[in-house]
Amino acid sequence: MSELFFVMAAGFVLGLLHSMDPDHLAAMSTLIGRVRGTRAADFIKGLHWGIGHTLVLALFGTVLVATGSGLSGYTERLFEAGVGVLLVYLGLRRLRDARRGPHQHAHRHGDIEHVHFHIHPPHEAHGLPQAHAGHSHAPLWIGILHGLAGTGGVMVLLPAVVIENLAMYLTYVAAFGIGSVVSMGAFCAGAGRFAGVLQDRHRNAGRWLAAAAGSLSLAVGLFWIANSATPFLA
């Protein structure tokens, strides 16, 4: 019983901390405020990221635990480079949003109508249903790629009792997944709320936030690519 509690607690806490890695936050920050949504919708973005991340750990990690094998250094670096490329793409896309600048339209809440400033994705014209929809599979796919790149690191942190017991490993992954969902969901909801308040108060806040998120994602992505390539250039 004590081992089970330890595994669940360790998985939950590490999930909370792991989701706050710089590359995770940089990627998700490019999705916050891009399409105006409620706090629940922003939390769901974090939920989808956590699901994608956990699915990879459950499927891919199970194979590693069952076979007693690990990822090769080359494979880990390849996945890390993939994350870097993704971050560069997300950063450039967000910087393109920032160049377009904000526009406004009215929202009605009951009998009260007020104006929001925001930036639509370039390919979505104003007035189209998808222009204000919060549904997107991007967080799920980002979580999957982050899961692939982070599997090796997570495996290193596994408690000894988990490595030799598949049932314990799946318990650990479930707790890890819950922790990552809670942490990333809270980040997305909080960041979305912050972005919404700023955009309501300042016309150009959407542009500033888009430029900041894009620049951060681009910088982290380039660092990730360079870091993954360094061992092969030495």
59-115 pLDDT, tens digit each: 887 787 777 776 777 888 888 888 899 999 999 999 998 887 655 555 555 555 544
| pLDDT 10s digits, 140-150 | 988 888 888 87
| Domain annotation covers residue 108 | no
The string of DSSP codes covering 10-47 is HHHHHHHHHTTSHHHHHHHHTTTTTS---HHHHHHHHH
Q: What backbone phi and psi angles, to 5 degrees, belong to 106?
A: -90, 145
| Domain annotation covers residue 234 | no
| Domain annotation covers residue 180 | yes
Q: Range of 206's domain? A: 2-100+115-123+133-229
Strand partners, 71: none
- 11-29 burial code (b ≥16 CB/10 A, e <16): bbebbbebbeeebbbbbbb
| Domain annotation covers residue 62 | yes
Among residues 21, 29, 87, 33, the alpha carbon closest in space to that of 219 is found at 87
Strands (E) located in 98-212: 103-109, 112-118
Give yes or no for residue 127 having a pLDDT over 50: no
SS3 173: helix
| Domain annotation covers residue 109 | no
| Domain annotation covers residue 192 | yes
| Domain annotation covers residue 106 | no
Strands (E) located in 77-173: 103-109, 112-118
| pLDDT 10s digits, 131-183 | 444 446 888 988 888 888 877 666 656 766 676 778 888 888 889 889 989 99
| Domain annotation covers residue 159 | yes
In the chain, the number of structural domains is 1
In this prediction, residues 15-29 reach a mean pLDDT of 88
